[in-house]
Structure 1
Amino acid sequence: MSTTLFNLQNEHIAHLQRAYSGILTDHGFDSLAIYSGHASEHFADDHAPPFQAYGHFMHWVGLADVQHSWLVIQPGERPQLYLHAPADFWHLPTQLPDEPWVEAFDVHLCSSKIGSSKIGSDKTALPLSGNAAIIGDIERLPTNTLQALKAEYQPERLVQALDELRLYKTPYEIACIREANRLAIAGHQATQAAFIGAAGELDIQLAYLAASRQRESNVPYQNIIGLNEHAGVLHYQHYDLQPPKQRYSLLVDAGRRFRGYCADITRTYAGPDAPAAFGELVNALHGVKDGLVKGVAPGVNFLALHEQMHHHLGEILVANDLFKGTPEQAVVEGVTRAFCPHGLGHSLGLQVHDVAGLRHPDGTPAPAPEQHPALRLTRTLRPGMVVTIEPGLYFINMLLAPLRNTALPINWRLVDQLSVCGGIRIEDNVAVTESGFANLTP
């Protein structure tokens, strides 16, 4: 695998060199400096939260945790990487991986913190030439640094063009996302086993981390491990230390990185104490997910897929006696939106909620429609895009409560029985191919 991946990585770097040359020329820039970013220390303290490098920096080097470093791109020249690698006995110094991209760069290991007007032990300045631009999380750099670097900061149209470039993944990037999925699936299998073994949320989380081979500080987003009612909190952020007395359900939304690229997978399981209807709903949501994945293809509008999800949810509500009207009525009256308030999915890549999902190809806004405000992707699908497909069905009282005072034919008795289960979400990661789709979640 590594030989093939290395070849794909070389092709990926060559693709970026061509693409960046064209984009910089089109926008009138002769050189570009990309700042990796750096973590800020907690207030009145001397340690910082987990860090993630700037996406456009990672696009070239795949290093998600590199701080205080710069990448300089000039058309026709080799990329210049100024990597912060201080001599340090408090921390392990930054080390270059054994990967092909290293040979395509001029790498400068800098012992002093990069972020002054002069960098590196040899005091070499960033080699910006002509009309230059700087992008990245630069607001927290010293003012004198930015003044000394004489460049246009964060030019909006340039950043939008680079975001658009990242929306379409190279074969190397898709291979990385596929591998991230493979590693994440091992974690998901471990969470299912831990749930069967009556573990609590924290122990399920630890089982996931161990099986997926990662530290909690390295996950691409905070894992959602929700038992019972917690499965109905969309971004549930805690882990109970003790297992509950009854095990109705488990929802696990958890990911993995590989060379900076993210997996984002969700699975839901019915527990031994769940009403029989809940297990049937879980199976039904798997079917909806599989059907929507098969609908991924070039030229398909993602909003149309999202609306298909709501049609299928209406069918599920009727078929499982939760709604005694028609599927169409459930959609039109907003019942399906009360049971599923989030969008069908989003773009996926170096960021879990990846760039350019709410823009047209020319950079103009393509906002979510008023009736679906949480939808994160409104694009027409094209080959090279990678998206998540994640239908859900939840029993969230604050969303369902307004419907109790209406004449809508909702089976509230069954809703109340199922509310102890929280909810269901099933999520796969899918690449758009020339002829259709490739499900990257094994």
Structure 2
Amino acid sequence: MLDIALLRKDLDNVLARLNKRKSPQPFLDEARFRELEGERKTLQSRTEELQSQRNSLSKQIGGLKGRAAKGEDTAAEVEAVMAQVASIADELKASADRLDVLQTELSAMLLSVPNLPQDEAPVGADESGNVEVRRWGTPGTYGFAPKDHVDLGGPLGLDFETGAKLSGARFTFMRGPIARLHRALASFMLDVQTQEHGYTECYTPYLVKAPALQGTGQLPKFEQDLFHVTSGDGDVADSKWYLIPTSEVTLTNTVADTIVPLDQLPIKLTGHTPCFRSEAGSAGRDTRGMIRQHQFDKVEMVQITAPEQSSAALEEMVGHAEAVLQKLELPYRVMALCTGDMGFGAARTYDLEVWLPAQNTYREISSVSNCEAFQARRMQARYKNAQGKNEFVHTLNGSGLAVGRALVAVLENHQQADGSIRVPVALRPYLGGAEVLKP
């Protein structure tokens, strides 16, 4: 959530920055915001005026009571002043009620407004405006026509038919060697992030209540992209859980409604979870294979930092994701996302795109974002700075990596002519020392 004080102080600049995301910006109803703010200012001014009058009248009452103690008849004057005080109290109550309504509507408006992009973010309308930062590795050459992961994975136990029979389209069933490879990749990624990069491994719930998703920005704007379940007990509103779209939600919300001591920052958390997304906006895209699934696994990285640490932490986290790709011997490139392609809560984002030979292109495998104080303000996550003042933390998140897409990349990049898969050296200890996976 944006700082409403920033909108009140410099609305024109906020609107100009939102226009960098999409022009004309559709996020904030400027006319309605100005109308609400105008009424709020008027009410607050009137409230201050009434409070001043009430204080003055209270002093008058004290003086009148002092005169009465001396034997003067002040009953009529006291009654008149008391009537004025009662009238002011009624108007103050009405003003307070109306201010609550205004604040509720203003807060609701802000929940649908995305984060402001950093000045360093490339300006562009869509993914065509993304900027390549660097590449690592060289796409392999093959003395045969490379197969895609669907054809390679089938003989290894990758079973889309059973997945569809059980759950419908965009679900996958794995058995045998492919299931073991999937598990090995997740374990390998967790070990890299915890043993080499200093993250604390976490196991989190897969179901959360609405406030957690509001805190990280998925609600209310993206509810259609989420799966939810309800309990048979109690009121429906109290028994509704959402399946996590990413463990960014659970890991980041560990600091919700807390004040973190400065000496505990940065906090670095990682976890391996399934992720559940309806992908409502992706109909017709990537219907073949594992690229876009309703259920997929991911090893997530989250950092909670002081504001002055977050820019460096973003670069560090990109390096942490790159390290996994390099150890898996997978060619990739790093892309700085433009303002029109960044996620809702991000102020700055890098995508890592891995090379897929069968598609002859790079595809996203990790997205790493600095959300600055956007999520923290929604979660009321703060820290005590060096001056002893409470201030919002900055939050960052990124994939380290998407397990299914890493599996796709390993199959396709390390395939051999006979359909077997060469196991990257770093992954072999997780597969009992196997150098090759064979059907």
Give the TM-score range, shorter chain: under 0.3
Q: Which has the larger radius of gyration?
A: 2
Q: Which of the pair has the greater relative contact order for Cα pairs under 8 Å at 6+ separation?
A: 2
Higher helix share: 2
Structure 1 length-normalised TM: 0.25
In proportion to residue count, which structure has more strand? 2
